[in-house]
Amino acid sequence: MAVSETIRSFIAFDVENPQVIERITSMQRLLTETGADLKLVEPENIHITIRFLGNIPAKMVDKIYEGMKMTGFLPFDIRILGVGAFPNTRNPRVLWAGIAEGADKLRSIFNRLEPYLRSLGLPPDPKGFSPHLTIARVRSG
């Protein structure tokens, strides 16, 4: 019996605005000055995750893509506001920049996609949706 191929997946938007990327890289420079053991997100990989999917069957990717197209979103602007950490600032694993302008549109896309993903058999996202841009991951405590 063949094992079905899986692929670690997530749904995200690339960030292509040079001003947003510069703001993130500026934050990253400040973080490196703290001496913390961090893995910075490369500028070309800066994105906004809409939904982490985990390991899914490779054959499901096309169906998910169809659902993404059905959301009918158009490009929009975002504005960065604030920084934080997941799961919290006492035990940070991920450092992020918050999104002010554009957060409602991102939530709307998440809310339109979620029922479709559940119809494909994917479990609901236990963390819900928190609009953010990942700046860095903490390598050690």
Which entry of 110, 132, 135, 136 is annotated as an active-site residue? Answer: 132
Which entry of 21, 23, 47, 57 is annotated as an active-site residue? Answer: 47
The DSSP bridge pattern shows strands 47-57 and 132-138 to be unpaired
- Interior angle at CA 19, CA 16 and CA 21, nearest 5: 55
The DSSP bridge pattern shows strands 132-138 and 94-99 to be antiparallel
47 is catalytic: yes
112 is catalytic: no
Going by C-alpha positions, the residue among 50, 72, 76 that lies closest to residue 131 is: 50
- Write out the catalytic residue numbers: 47, 132
